């Protein structure tokens, strides 16, 4: 289920700093029929983007919610897309020891920077707002519609509840 959080928004400057930091690091991912995009997985937990995302998670969800593993920086140019999919099953196939988690994301671009590229969950476009945290559940189907003009930047990451993973299953998040 989609949730939107406005307690702490990324400033225009922080969004731009992320884009500038990663513009030359993103690499093309082309899985025919599923997605075509550019991305970079930041695994270095000492990197400033990890601290920033941890603060966003804490300020919006509370101290018991934690960033897990990585922050993924995503760039979609003209013709790029990510068709409808679920993240959960794919992540468990990669690592059976993952804690139960859900997903967070933040738009880094201004809406007038691109056309198309709508982020959708369960077939519905989500309301675009630069710098805002949004979350969705493990099995929610979602994707990015094809970008038809400009460039769309965002970040995506895994979140887990440190002290009671069952609360997520029981609908708290």
pLDDT tens-place string over residues 5-53: 877 789 999 999 999 999 999 999 999 889 999 999 999 999 999 999 9
Specify the higher pLDDT residue, 2 or 124.
Answer: 124
DSSP 113: G
Residue 168: the pLDDT is 46
Q: What is the CA radius of gyration of the chain?
A: 15
Residue 67 contacts residue 54 (beta carbons within 8 Å) = yes
For domain 3-169, give the CATH number.
2.60.120.620
What does the domain layout of the chain look like in residue ranges?
3-169
| 6-10, 69-73, 128-132: least confidently modelled range | 6-10
Note if the pTM is more than 0.85: yes
Compute, in degrees rounded to 10, the torsion defined by CA atoms 110, 126, 17, 85: -130
């Amino acid at each position: 289920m989609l949730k939107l959080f406005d307690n702490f928004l990324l400033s225009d400057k922080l969004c731009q700093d992320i884009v500038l930091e990663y513009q030359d690091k993103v690499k093309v991912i082309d899985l025919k029929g599923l997605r075509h995009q550019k991305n970079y997985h930041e695994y270095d937990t000492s990197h400033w983007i990890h601290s920033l995302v941890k603060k966003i998670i804490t300020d919006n969800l509370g101290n018991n919610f934690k960033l897990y593993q990585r922050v993924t920086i995503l760039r979609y140019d003209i013709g790029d897309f990510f068709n409808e999919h679920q993240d959960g099953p794919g992540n468990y196939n990669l690592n059976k020891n993952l804690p139960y988690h859900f997903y967070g994301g933040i738009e880094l671009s201004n809406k007038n920077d691109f056309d198309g590229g709508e982020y959708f969950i369960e077939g519905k476009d989500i309301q675009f707002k630069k710098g805002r945290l949004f979350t969705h559940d493990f099995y929610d189907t979602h994707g990015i519609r094809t970008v038809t003009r400009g460039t769309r930047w965002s970040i995506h990451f895994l979140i887990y509840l440190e002290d009671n993973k069952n609360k997520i299953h029981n609908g708290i998040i």
